[in-house]
Amino acid sequence: MTWLRQSLKDQLPLYVFVAVLFLVGVLFGALMVNALSLEQQQDLAGYLQHLFVSLGDSGSDAPPDFRSIAVLHIKWIGLIFLLGLSVIGLPGILVLDFLKGVLIGFTVGYMVGQYAWKGLLFALVSVVPHNLLLIPVLLISSVAAMGFSLYIIRSRLLSQKGGSLKKPFAAYAGVMALMALLMLVAASLETWISPQMMRWVAPLLLPS
């Protein structure tokens, strides 16, 4: 992984910036839990109780569809890839990273707020397994897209001598293709590993 080490070295400020933005999104998502109305809290609680009952009866629910999960993740990578091809897409990449953090923060924050340590345990088994791979993939993809977008700015807009985009684009496309393949691995974890772990924990959250 020589290219990865070199990328980390050359683009460390971008990695730090994106990571901090993601963490801010996680914090914002956790704080959003306090803004829910009583009706919204009751709706979510009812949905979760139904989910826990379904998970407790392993034969009642069909397993998650790998194809739909994989397509969703690949679309996310594809959107980041397309945004990286243009200068105006740079803010969009940052918005996607922030929103991903918000989703994770809200999920964990709500579960902990409703079910204390049991909710934290359920959030960990439902969120952590696939996100251990998914989050680094999104981080690398975002930095690669931002790096290519900034290269376009430097070579096309700020310099009179526009260099060839063939090699940088080939490197960028190669990184994103690899990240898309890793997303398939993350989708596999989300399809077959996370649900099984959720079934083990779900009975703890059902009313006695």
pLDDT digits (tens, 9 = 90+) for 106-156: 999 998 888 888 888 988 888 989 999 999 999 999 999 999 998 888 876
Residue 64 is predicted with a pLDDT of 73
Q: Is 159 helix (H, G, I), strand (E, B) or coil?
A: coil
Residue 62 is predicted with a pLDDT of 56
Our CA angle for 72, 76, 77, nearest 5°, is: 120
d(CA 122, CA 52) in angstroms, rounded, equals 10
When pLDDT is cut at 50, 70 and 90, the band that residue 184 belongs to is very high
Instruction: For residue 30, report the phi and psi dihedrals to the nearest 5 degrees.
Output: -65, -40
Locate 91 and state its tokens.
């803010």
When pLDDT is cut at 50, 70 and 90, the band that residue 7 belongs to is low
pLDDT at residue 50 above 70? yes
Q: Which residue matches tokens 């839990």?
A: 33
Residue 140 is predicted with a pLDDT of 93
d(CA 87, CA 145) in angstroms, rounded, equals 10
Q: Average pLDDT for residues 84-113, to the nearest whole number?
A: 92
